[in-house]
Amino acid sequence: MPKSAQQPARTPLPGRKAQAARNDSLVLEAAREVFLAEPKAPIAAVAERAGVGISALYRRYPSKEVLLRTLCHEGLRRYNAEADAALAEPDGWRALVGFLERVVDADVHSLTVHLAGTFAPDPAMMPDVEHSEEVITELIRRAHQSGTLRPEIIPQDVGLVLEACAAVSTPDKDRTAQLRRRVLGVLVDGLRADGDLPGPPPRPGEFAWRWHRGRTDRRSEPAQPA
């Protein structure tokens, strides 16, 4: 059973560091909006959206690849935090469904769908990747134990559900959120323990190929502002 890491108590940051943290938050939020809309957008578009100088952005993120990697790592941490929180729910089925709802609402999986293969994963991400696998496996085990989750569902099926929801997109952010919840509701009904599923389930690591597409001859180079 995975153990949730205990977070140390946070102390207020001094003025200059607090401003830097706020700027970093603005940059990551802007990067998310820019790169989900257009993964090939230049890093200058992020600086413009965040309202920070390009030189300040480069001091924190020396290349577009570093920024993309940080953005996806933050998404992975959010995913893990929601999964860890779900383990506090004693009902295994409710824990799994609540986790799916929160991750869909946070739109975490869009980062995987849109940005996989655009940067080289960093070895520093691996502990979080491994924790993700452990905690989802535990959530699935508990949901099976509740008797509500159909027996042939495996942890990799969670990715299929989240990708299906992330694929729903409209120009209206609020409407997109509504439709994704509707799709999730349909899919959750399909996770219940009755009926038969067609085809074999996803294999472990079956979707890992996309993190390496287009990476064979590429190196991490400083991104140009234009």
Per-residue pLDDT tens for 77-89?
999 999 999 999 9
| 21 falls within a domain | yes
Sequence letter at residue 180: R
Kindly state whether residues 109 and 32 are assigned to the same domain: no
Asked if 134 and 201 sit in the same domain, the reply is yes
Residue that wins the pLDDT comparison between 23 and 161: 161
Q: Is 101 part of any domain?
A: yes
Q: What's the pLDDT score for residue 116?
A: 80
Q: Which residues 6+ apart lie within 8 Å of 31 measured at CB?
A: 46, 50, 67, 68, 71
The answer to whether 114 and 36 have CB atoms below 8 angstroms apart is: yes
Average pLDDT (81-103) is: 97
Is position 220 within any domain? no
Q: Is residue 193 part of a domain?
A: yes
State percent of the chain over pLDDT 90.
56
Residues 41 and 131 in one domain: no
CA 55 from centre of chain: 28
Q: What is the mean pLDDT of residues 78-107?
A: 96
Q: Are residues 110 and 189 in the same domain?
A: yes
CATH assignment of the domain containing 156: 1.10.357.10
Residues 132 and 199 in one domain: yes
36 and 99 housed in the same domain: no
Angstrom distance (rounded) from CA 74 to CA 80: 10
What distance in Å separates the CA atoms of residue 162 and residue 188, rounded to the nearest whole number? 11
pLDDT band at 20 (very low <50, low <70, confident <90, very high): low
96 and 205 fall within a common domain: yes
Same domain, 36 and 136: no
CB 107 within 8 A of CB 129: no
Computed over every residue of the chain, the mean pLDDT equals 84
The answer to the question of residue 4 being in a domain is: no
Residue 224 lies in a domain: no
Residues 118 and 196 in one domain: yes
pLDDT for 221 equals 40
Please give the residue range of the domain that contains residue 44.
13-62
Instruction: Give the pair of three-digit tokens for residue 171.
Output: 């120009």
d(CA 204, CA 155): 9
With vertex at residue 165, the alpha carbon angle to CA 49 and CA 176, rounded to the nearest 5 degrees, is 50
Greater confidence, 219 or 173? 173
More confident position, 114 or 11: 114
CA distances from 13 to 18, 23, 25 (A): 5, 13, 14
Q: Does 81 lie in the same domain as 53? A: no
- Three-state SS string over 112-167 comes to HHHHCCCCCCCHHHHHHHHHHHHHHHHHHHHHHHHCCECCCCCHHHHHHHHHHHHC
Q: Decide: helix, strand or coil at residue 192.
A: strand
Domain count, the chain: 2
Say whether both 103 and 182 belong to one domain: yes
Q: CA–CA separation, 159 vs 15, rounded Å?
A: 41
Regarding whether 90 and 58 lie in a shared domain, the answer is no
User: Region 123-133: what's the mean pLDDT?
Assistant: 93
14 Cα distance to chain centroid: 30
Among residues 24, 43, 62, which one ends one of the domains? 62
Domain assignment present for 47: yes
Is 46 strand, coil or helix? Answer: helix
pTM of the full predicted structure?
0.78
For the chain, give the percent of residues with pLDDT over 70: 83
Q: Give the pLDDT confidence score for residue 198 in this predicted structure.
A: 74
Grade residue 92 by pLDDT with cuts at 50, 70 and 90.
very high
In a domain, 182, yes or no: yes
Computed from CA positions of residues 207, 126, 134, 89, in that sequence, does the dihedral angle turn out positive or negative?
negative
